[in-house]
Structure formats: structure tokens, C-alpha cells
């Protein structure tokens, strides 16, 4: 049994285990005492830790020299600082964005996606004709793992005078991501998706772009986000993302394990539906539906078998509801209600996959029995 309460934990897109080196760095920081805003020796040492961590995170995501990295309480705050900080009243967001973007921008213009899960670039080009805007498109989807054509989105947006915000919370530390090379204006990242602690994230702001703060006070974070910085969390974040970038080749190898798993699941139940499998995806993510078998039933049955998966996003207060992501990709409500997300982590083994496949085979048998009785 691994360190979670499950025999097999396969919900790493929700959160993943804190890296030992990140925990050690946090413990060391917690043993010290100093406010980064203080001018005495302890404060200066804390400031050194803060700025070293800022540089490490900025380098890991490719923030260009002269840009700004603002530490936040997590990905949600980073997303919303980007969405509201530019002052752009017109927001275009993809139909598959995370709820932290969707719920914050109920009046946004929605960019449709193609059945494979990538943004419809022709539709985006047409929508951009409506005037200066902020375009918000995630780098990789948290439910399906589908990777978006960010460079092309940036090109179209900039030609129309729009800014681009990219939620890279699922992508960072899993695939190469270079903000400057892509030309993105704003990038959100979060520590706990890549082996850092919860409660810490960051927004990267391209050089020359000024934002209006949403949280005012003592002027911390270059006046962009008031409040004493969560220094242990920040240090843990920097340590984790540095380690994650170094391990990207190892993470890419998860695709072989994931693809083999998907072949085995489809062999057991050919009617199972894989979402986004024909497009580039994160190497660790599978979204699969067993038509006619409710997502919550599958999650609970696998939980009882000692396997942790989810029914889409984990950020819905524990509620299981039809996925807006799968709906946007053309899946009907019934099919969307039968999908689960399996997300592998850096410590996932072939034995973990064997246990999942065995438990899923029992679910498929239950489905067949239900069909036979109907």
C-alpha cells in the first residue's frame, strides 16, 4: 500500500504527493523567523529566500526577463488576478476552462472546441473581430489532458490586439512549457499539482504589462498582491517545480503506461469511450466512459476496491455532476455522466495499473449484467 489511504492512488490531477525535497525545504524555512518585508537581518534572509524562489519558478515556466511573477494563494486566485487585472471588459474563454475561470466570468464569450477537445481556431478568429479582448485558454485540460494549440491562439489574438491568459496549472511540470517562446501574456501555475504544497500558486506577467491588484494593503508582491507572503509554501513551490522540470523525461514515460492501460480497458469493454485520445494529451491523463454506468457508481466501486479516481474535476465541493468539458466536446448528458478521470503520477507503477484494470473489469461485468436484465 502506498502513502495514501488508497491501495492505488490515480487522481494525481486533483493533487499529488508532496515531494520529499519540497517538504524538507519548507521545514527548514519554518524553522527560521523573518518577514520578507522587514529590514533587519532576519527579514533580509527571508527576502533572499523569497526572491530566489521567485526566480526559480519564473525560470521553470519561461517568464522572460523583465516580467513579473506574483505569488498567490493558489491557482484560483492567480486565474482571477489575470482575468480582472488587465481591465479588459471583453473576455473570451474556451468552453472547457476550469470552474475558477468559468464562474469568475459568467458574461464571457465562449469559444467552442472541436470534438477532439481543442479550441476551434476559426471560431476564435471570428470572435476576435468584436474588439480588444482578453482570451483565456488553458494549456492542457484537467479532465481529458488534451493540450491546446497555445502558440496559434496567441498569434491570432495578438494580431487582433487581444491579450492571452493561459491557465498552465495542469501542464506545468508535466510537459515542457515556455511562456516566452509561446508569447503568452499571463500564465497561472499552482504548486500542489506538481509536488508542492497546497495553498500557493503564482501568476506570471509578461514584460510591459501592468495589472490592477485585487488585494490591496501593504504593497507586497510589487504592489500586485497585498499580504505577508507564505514563505514556506513559496520555497516548497520553487523546490517542487525545479524538481518537476528536471524529471520531465521520466514523466513523459507515463504515456506508455497510460496507453497500455487504455488498450486493456478497451479490450475488456469495446463500447467504452475515450475522450481526446486522438489529440495530443498530457502523458498521465485518461478520460473514459462506460455508457450506462453512472460516474459516481464507478468512483465509489473503485474506491471500495482501494483505487482512487475521480469523476472529472475535483474542484466541485465533492459533487458529481455532468462534465461541461465533455459536453462541449459533443458528448450527450448520459455519456458525460458515465465518465471517470484516471490520472497517473510520477510514482505510479504497472502493479497499480493491474489493480485498476482488474477492478474495472468487474465494473464492465456489472454493466453487461445490467444491460442483460434490461
Q: How confident is the model at residue 317 (pLDDT cuts 50, 70, 90)?
A: very low
Number of domains in the chain: 2
130 plus 278 within the same structural domain: no
Tell me what the pLDDT averaged over the chain comes to.
Answer: 93
Angstrom distance (rounded) from CA 230 to CA 35: 10
**Looking at residue 143, which CATH number applies to its domain?**
3.40.640.10
Residues of the domain holding 265:
8-17+249-373
344 pLDDT above the threshold of 60: yes
User: What's the pLDDT tens digit per position in 163-196?
Assistant: 999 999 999 999 999 999 999 999 999 999 999 9
224 plus 266 within the same structural domain: no
Question: Which of 212-221, 327-336, 360-369 has maximum average pLDDT?
Answer: 327-336
306: phi then psi, degrees, rounded to nearest 5: 85, 30
168 plus 274 within the same structural domain: no
279 plus 203 within the same structural domain: no
227 plus 294 within the same structural domain: no
Domain assignment of residue 167, yes or no = yes
pLDDT, greater one: 322 or 23: 23
User: What is the structure's pLDDT at 274?
Assistant: 98
User: What's the pLDDT tens digit per position in 91-123?
Assistant: 999 999 999 999 999 999 999 999 999 999 999
277 plus 224 within the same structural domain: no
Angstrom distance (rounded) from CA 46 to CA 67: 22
Q: Pull the grid cell for residue 210.
A: 501592468
130 plus 273 within the same structural domain: no
Is 166 annotated as catalytic? no
Q: What percent of the chain has pLDDT over 90?
A: 86
264 plus 204 within the same structural domain: no
Is the overall model pTM greater than 0.85, yes or no? yes
H or E element at residue 268: helix 254-268
* Domain closes at, from 246, 279, 310: 246
* Domain closes at, from 228, 246, 264: 246
Domain assignment of residue 3, yes or no = no
User: What is the structure's pLDDT at 315?
Assistant: 52
* Domain closes at, from 206, 221, 246: 246
78 plus 139 within the same structural domain: yes
233 plus 337 within the same structural domain: no
User: What is the structure's pLDDT at 213?
Assistant: 86
- The CA radius of gyration of the chain, in Å to the nearest whole number, is 21
Q: Is 164 helix (H, G, I), strand (E, B) or coil?
A: strand
SS (H, E, C) 57-114: HHHHHCCCCCCEEEEECCHHHHHHHHHHHCCCCCEEEECCCCHHHHCCCCCCEEECEC
User: What is the structure's pLDDT at 226?
Assistant: 80
Domain assignment of residue 70, yes or no = yes
Q: How confident is the model at residue 214 (pLDDT cuts 50, 70, 90)?
A: confident
- Of the candidates 151, 260, 315, 369, the residue annotated as catalytic is 315
279 plus 233 within the same structural domain: no
20 pLDDT above the threshold of 70: yes
The packing angle between helices 350-373 and 295-304, to 10°, is 130
Domain assignment of residue 255, yes or no = yes
User: What is the structure's pLDDT at 322?
Assistant: 78
317 plus 198 within the same structural domain: no
Domain assignment of residue 2, yes or no = no
Angstrom distance (rounded) from CA 260 to CA 241: 28
Domain assignment of residue 176, yes or no = yes
Amino acid at each position: 500500500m502506498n502513502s495514501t489511504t488508497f491501495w492505488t492512488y490515480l487522481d494525481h490531477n486533483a493533487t499529488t504527493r508532496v515531494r520529499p525535497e519540497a517538504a524538507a525545504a519548507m521545514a527548514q524555512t519554518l524553522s527560521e523567523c523573518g518577514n520578507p518585508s522587514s529590514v533587519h537581518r532576519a527579514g533580509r534572509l527571508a527576502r533572499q529566500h523569497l526572491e530566489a524562489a521567485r526566480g526559480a519558478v519564473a525560470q521553470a515556466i519561461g517568464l522572460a526577463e523583465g516580467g513579473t511573477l506574483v505569488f498567490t494563494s493558489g491557482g484560483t486566485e492567480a486565474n482571477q488576478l489575470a482575468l480582472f487585472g488587465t481591465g479588459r471588459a471583453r473576455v473570451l474563454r474556451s468552453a472547457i476552462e476550469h470552474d475558477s475561470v468559468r464562474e469568475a466570468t459568467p458574461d464571457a464569450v465562449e469559444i467552442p472546441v472541436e470534438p477532439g477537445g481543442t479550441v476551434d481556431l476559426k471560431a476564435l478568429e471570428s470572435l476576435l473581430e468584436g474588439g480588444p479582448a482578453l482570451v483565456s485558454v488553458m494549456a492542457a485540460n484537467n479532465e481529458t489532458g488534451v493540450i491546446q494549440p497555445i502558440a496559434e491562439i496567441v498569434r491570432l489574438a495578438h494580431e487582433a490586439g487581444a491579450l492571452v491568459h493561459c491557465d498552465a496549472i495542469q501542464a506545468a511540470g508535466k510537459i515542457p512549457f515556455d511562456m516566452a517562446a509561446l508569447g503568452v501574456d499571463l500564465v497561472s501555475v499552482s504548486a500542489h499539482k506538481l509536488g508542492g504544497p497546497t495553498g500557493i500558486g503564482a501568476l506570471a506577467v509578461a514584460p510591459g504589462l501592468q495589472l490592477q491588484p485585487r488585494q490591496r494593503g501593504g504593497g507586497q508582491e510589487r504592489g500586485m498582491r497585498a499580504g505577508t507572503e507564505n514563505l514556506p509554501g513559496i520555497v516548497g513551490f520553487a523546490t517542487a517545480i525545479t524538481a518537476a522540470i528536471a524529471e520531465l523525461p521520466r514523466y513523459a514515460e507515463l504515456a506508455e503506461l497510460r496507453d497500455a492501460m487504455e488498450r486493456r480497458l478497451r479490450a475488456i469493454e469495446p463500447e467504452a469511450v475515450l475522450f481526446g485520445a486522438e489529440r495530443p494529451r498530457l502523458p498521465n491523463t485518461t478520460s473514459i466512459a462506460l455508457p450506462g454506468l453512472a460516474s459516481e457508481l464507478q468512483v465509489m466501486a473503485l474506491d471500495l476496491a482501494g483505487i482512487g479516481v475521480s469523476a472529472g474535476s475535483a474542484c466541485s465541493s465533492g459533487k458529481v455532476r455532468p462534465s461541461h468539458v465533455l459536453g462541449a466536446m459533443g458528448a450527450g448528458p448520459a455519456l458525460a455522466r458515465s465518465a471517470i478521470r484516471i490520472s497517473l503520477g510520477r510514482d505510479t507503477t504497472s502493479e497499480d495499473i493491474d489493480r485498476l484494470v482488474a477492478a474495472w473489469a468487474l465494473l464492465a461485468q456489472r454493466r453487461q449484467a445490467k444491460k442483460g436484465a434490461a
